[in-house]
Structure 1
Amino acid sequence: MDTRRSEQAGGASQVGTRAQGGSLAPGRVVGDGRYRLLAQFGVDERAGAHLWRARDGQLKRDVALTLLVGDPADPESARQARRTLERAAHASKFGHGGVARVLDVLSLGSGVTSGEGLLGVVVAEWTKGSDLVDLVAQRPVAPAAAARMVQALTEAVEQAHQNGLVLGLDHPQRLRLTPNGALKLAFPGPLPEATLRDDVKALGAVLYLLLTGRWALPGGPPAIPAAPHSPDGRIIPPRSLVPAVPADLSSLAVRTIEDGGNGGIRTSAAILRVLDQVAEEEERTQLIKAVGTEPEASGDGTVWTTKKPVKDVARRRKLALGVTVLVVATVAILAWVGLMLINLFQGDSKASGPNINVAAPPSSSQPAQPPGQSQAPPASQPPAAGAPVTPQSATVYNPQGKGDNPGKAKAVIDGDPGTTWKTDQYQQQLPVLKKGVGLAVSFKDAIKLAQVKITSNSPGTKVEIRSAETKNPALDDTKVLASADLTAGETTIPLPQPQQGQNFIVWITHLGDDHGDGFLTEIGELTFLPAG
């Protein structure tokens, strides 16, 4: 319970800041009498930040408080506190499931009085779940589960970094494990000098902690033992401490934490790529184990199983695709054999009667071919398109986060090319920061899409037209129908084969050309034309 955490943290964690924060205790009211302290969850000694659960007396809800404790008369302490509060206020505009939303920021003279002994307060929504220290206290987390936990947290870091924000998650007591098994930054408030690189190193340290139960960065809580180092100062890999840890996860943790060498991992995007590979490998391993497991058989030869069949949608989809490919291949082979037999009989010099073109009779607009010569096939033409159909809705599609400029997505289907939607402005081209960004549209009824016209003044943009079975699918569950490079003005993208569907995605894989201030793509209108 939270009261147990208050006793544990209050006794061991206040060392070093007791002079300023010793008066903080459950029941005390801070923030102009609005927040009543309930339980303490740790202290980040590096910033004099006390982490508390509190009760908002006005809105009658629990909140997470990061209390910045220090001497108001010390100019350096006051400066550092102001910097932390500024960064927390900037992060209040950031929304992601892996970060608790900042509700308020209180500073001296604005919600915090000098008599409270505080330099500032960061108020965030309360995160239900478990304390990370308690999670690893008894035993390390299974490697596959640890990878999934860090993967969700890494996605939050990736999106924050794209927006130029430092989260400051390099202290384990600032994190909590939600009921759905994801790690979340519960106590926002980055250190004054924290950098993007510090966030990345923190991800490696969190992975190291989950795998070994040890913290590999300076300034960790006393309740967690420090990671061991070799005589040359390098961190001992997790696999050396826990042999069950896979080599790729062990290497990922060490390479992310350490600064030296050319093999270091310095971006959250690189971490995500490795974790995706680990997840795929784990899925293959589980599939092999499942296939290799034999069901029990009774004495009369009857096979019994105690496991319920798993409703694996992805596996069923792959099986259906495989069966479809097999059927198409069989039909193609039979057709080829039939044509060979026809050609065999047509080539017999003893056969009587005129030669017959079995492919198609000559059109009246085409000259007849001399006997013995085959009719040339017509050139491939894009399917004819009918009148445009307006989608029922348009939303920003971004599987890795909230998305770019979501409030303007409807502008691309309003019939006015002058109203536009644009991506965020990126300092690096896709896919360095993420795989892509796009727009998802849904129609009231299914259509047989033949062409898509895109009005844009962002030449150099590369797009894919994809179909989807749902409104918000995973990227791997979508199907690429066509691709093109946008030019200034209107670009028409014909589909090689009309596609029946109700949900489609315009997926941007390469942003518009850089004009000196970054990369972005702006779209004025999307026009969808069904087959005529």
Structure 2
Amino acid sequence: MTQVGEGQEADEAAPSVMTFGAPAVGEILAERYELAEHINDDSAGRQVWRGVDVILRRPVAVVLRYPGGDSAKEMLQAAVAASRVIHPNLVGVYDAIDEEDRAYVVREWVDGHSLRELVADGVLDPARATSIAHAVSGAISAIHATGMVHGNLHPGTVMVGDDGRVVLADARTDGADTPETDVRAVGGILYYALTGHWPHTEASLTAGSTRRSRSPLPDAVRDASGTIAAPRQVRAGVPAYLDDLTMDLLDSQLAVPSSDVLAAELGRLDAAAEEHYLDSGPLRFTSGDDGGPDLPTPGNRKMLIGIAALLVIALVGLSLGINALVGNGDSTDGQAGPTPSTGTSTQPAVAGDPEPPAATPRKVNLKGNQVRVIDPDGTRSELDDVEKAVDGDSNEGWETESYRGGSKFGNAKSGMGILINLGEPREVTSVQVVFSDPGVSAELRWGTKDFPASASGDRALVAAYTNRIGNPFEKTENTNVLFNQFVPPGQKYQYLMLWITDLPETESSGRYKIGVQEITVQSR
């Protein structure tokens, strides 16, 4: 749940008269908790209020549910269970009361924002994402140590206080979750913090309809087979070890570590991040020595740096001594020995040496004049607003018109597309497309040149752009798709075309349309 706002102390005036039914500002619950401000209604249909404990004079959060009794049993049981676990990264639970007509839980008020709100303003840097995951895994480990599970770990229940404290709230006890569920959810928290997408989102059917409802969190970017893209494929700058850890936690084919082992590993990464030591190598989820490399602690790292510095000094001194001997001595033919020039290696390349690492992919900053609509069979009345597909805001984009008579543009045309001109040949690594709705069929093609912006020019372009990048997406189950099968490595592209062949049905039965909300190109 999302909690915002500032706490306040109770007024000195006498408490108001207790009322029943809908809560109101100023009402006193259990002769102790004054309701100060209605914050929101959470996804479970509960009201979240900011309140004040008039006895201890401290701000509290009050979560109310109508009615009480059996309908509130799970909420109250979860609150009672959570109150037994004391941990700095868990929200404190103060009270749980059932009045039959309504029930409410009183817990610690946190001045701050949910992780969902923070990431909505921009994805987090790897160090901060690691720190938050470390705090969350520590809280989960404390819960698991009591034999319980949290069962409700997502970006809305992770709170980040204005003072930097990270706390976990709103556990549930419906019996459907396990410790493994919680641990994999930590992987989801990492993925969301790094990419802004939630990997555990599943499309669900709305009752009485074939339309798929949207999740409140953006779904993970997926390829044609439904596999989620790794964080490094979605954004640049994610360290390889953090990318691997996140994807391992999300891989259902791999066993996950226990929560305490995960907390220990993330703690070491968190400490290393504070020392700006991020290239840690592979992680080892084990409590014993398996012979694998370990992440150096900050103290060990300083010692290693000192040893390395001494070795460098010794090698430089040895090199200078050898050069002096060679320069002052006579060779067998009376000529001085050769002196290597500055910056030139005297060592020949050895077969099998590793290639230097490829540059990290970065987002191509596309402008509105670098994209245009391709409509070879239409009336060319759908060309406007295409620049919104590359403006960085996925809340708005380019839309087709609404078609009747079938998903293939009312059976009036073979398809429509958007041509992307990268400005110059680039080594493209991925193209991410965010659609307005699932159920679209699309593919990515490439060509070598542009054509006139006319119906005949568009027909010539579509005929020339026959090369596809990977497999097409057919009736996607998600709104986010990723084209990343650019082969062979090193090939450069300047012109790419997103080609749409099938539209999803809108909520108005019998009509079909799609919006392209955002196109993101990554290249080296």
TM-score (norm 1): 0.43
Structure possessing the higher radius of gyration over alpha carbons:
1
Higher relative contact order (CA 8 A, sep 6+): 2
Compare the two structures and name the one with the higher helix fraction. 1
